[in-house]
Structure 1
Amino acid sequence: MDKKPKAFLFDLNGTMINDMEFHNHAWHSILTKDLGASISFEAVKKEMYGKNQDLLERVFGVGHFSQEQIDQISIEKEHRYQAAYKKHLSLIAGLADFLESAKKSGILMAIGSAAIPFNIDFVLDNLQVRSYFKAVVSAEDVLNSKPDPETFLKGAAILGIPADECVVFEDAPKGVEAAQNAGMKCIALTTMHHADEFSAYNNIIAFIEDYNDPVLKSLF
């Protein structure tokens, strides 16, 4: 970046915690065993972006389920995910120190996630990191989910920081696309996707495996 960023916007799942395999298993179980879809584990992985309702509509079509059914399926999926993941719940390596460094540097931080508050609260409260974030934008706070830029633009607006002075941390190609659509640079974590899966985007500053990567020092 030409100038030091004033804000960091974090996706949650796969970006702050390495939990996407658990989401993948929970969704695959729900879709195939409960709902009868014929879809592979790898195919489910590619659909895991945006809101839960968006995923269900991509797999089954718009109007297949009532809103009440969608809400019931969504919360059941999250209960299964949390039950399986809770004993593994931890921040990605180096993130605790990175958050503290950002705070001491005066960089504002926000969460911009397609998760529902039930899951965001599960992470922020169990890991006791809520105090670092001046804004939390969830699936319930936006009309249009990623790759639409609304999630990140809303987070930046709450922080009062222009888009070009924000850096987004993301693990999913559609999340990087949302950042690009918002006019924001991005750090991509390779927790769930390989670097070559992000080749369509020109807003990526760096790829990292975790927050111990020395490239992050250039942000302060």
Structure 2
Amino acid sequence: MKKIPKEIKCVIFDMDGVIIDSEEIHKKAYYETFVSLGLNVSDELYKSFTGSSTINAFQRLVAHFNLDKKPEELVLDKRRRYVNFFENDPNLHLVENVEEIIKYFNKKGIVLILASSSAMINIDRVFNRFNLNGYFSAKISGADLKESKPHPEIFNKASILANIPKENCVVIEDSDNGIKAANDANIFVFGYANKLSEGQTLKNADAVIHDFLELKDLI
């Protein structure tokens, strides 16, 4: 495990389960889609998707169940269901204390990058609803990249967009797939222990936090 960088100039955030507690509505949207297809998806298989892009998840499902369906069409179906939950769930909220830590980093002049497996349309939906655009220098959607987490491509791109050496960057992730991606990108990674992120061990994180305010003593 790596030590916390002495000088941190960039913080790279995941979104679902880190910035917004949206894992539950993603799960509802996925399972509605599974039911519509007549699929019995085990908890273990579903948990293995956490942190991956939706297209990657449905590519694996189509192969696993030998479906005569195009993954791209299933992505659109799931996205429609997600949007319905997103727009009609008044209880959807930011993760506790994440807005405060984002403002804290911004005030310190730390560059913030969003690196999420979600589609950009969903990223923008979250950032517009919760007024986060002004704090972040760039937003990256894994859906627009060749590879999905746990591949390190998204974090390699984040450090390039930040124009900051990796040794001065840290990642915040709540999924084992995302943590592996950060590990393989050779960037220090904080695992955020979100109780709603099911089945994630965070065992390969360089450090684990349970509350974002802990970062004020570390960064």
Alignment TM-score, normalising by the size of structure 2: 0.88
Deviation at 1:151, TM superposition (A): 0.4
1:9–1:166 contact (8 Å) kept in structure 2: yes
- Distance of aligned partners of 1:39 and 1:194 in 2 relative to their CA distance in 1, 3 Å threshold: closer
Quote how far apart the aligned CAs of 1:15 are: 0.8
- 2: CA distance, partners of 1:34 / 1:103: 44
Q: Which amino acid aligns with 1:164?
A: E
Map 1:19-38 onto structure 2 (within 5 A). Answer: 19-31=22-34, 33-38=35-40
- Tell me if the contact between 2:55 and 2:143 (Cα under 8 Å) persists in the aligned partners: no
Q: In structure 2, give the amino acid aligned to 1:111.
A: L
Counterpart of 1:16 in structure 2 is: 19
**Which one-letter code corresponds to 1:198 in the other structure?**
L
CA gap of 1:126–1:60, structure 2 versus 1, over 3 A, is same
Write the distance in 2 (CA, Å) between the matches of 1:115 and 1:22: 13
| Residue in structure 1 matching 2:202, options 192, 198, 201 | 198
Alignment of 1:61-80 (within 5 A): 61=63, 64=67, 69-80=70-81
> Alignment identity in percent?
26
Distance 1:125 1:96 in 2: 14
Q: Is the 8 A contact 1:28 1:44 kept in 2?
A: no
Structure 1 vs Structure 2 CA RMSD: 2.1
| Corresponding position of 1:100 | 103
One-letter amino acid of the structure 2 residue matched with residue 37 of structure 1: L
Q: Give 1:72's aligned amino acid.
A: E
Aligned residues of 1:22 and 1:84 also touching (Cα < 8 A): yes
Q: Which residue of 2 aligns with 1:84?
A: 85
Which residue pairs with 1:218 in the alignment? 217
Q: Deviations over 1:143-201 (max 9, x none)?
A: 111111110110110110111211111110110111111111112122234797122x1
- For residues 1-220 of structure 1, what are the structure 2 equivalents within 5 Å? 1-31=4-34, 33-41=35-43, 43-61=45-63, 64=67, 69-86=70-87, 87-191=90-194, 192-193=196-197, 197-199=201-203, 201=204, 203-208=205-210, 210-212=211-213, 215-220=214-219
Give the 3 Å change call, closer, same or farther, for CA 16–59 of structure 1 in structure 2: same
Alpha-carbon deviation of 1:85?
3.3
Instruction: Give, in angstroms, the shift of residue 75 of structure 1.
Output: 2.2
Number of matched pairs: 212
- The structure-2 alpha-carbon separation of the partners of 1:194 and 1:186, relative to structure 1 and needing over 3 Å to count, comes to farther
Q: Alignment partner of 1:197: what SS?
A: coil
1:24 and 1:45 in contact (8 A); partners too: no
CA contact (8 A) 1:190 1:207 kept: yes
Query: For the residues of structure 1 that align with 2:59 and 2:143, how far apart are their CA atoms?
Result: 17
Q: How far is the alpha carbon of 1:16 from its aligned partner? A: 0.4
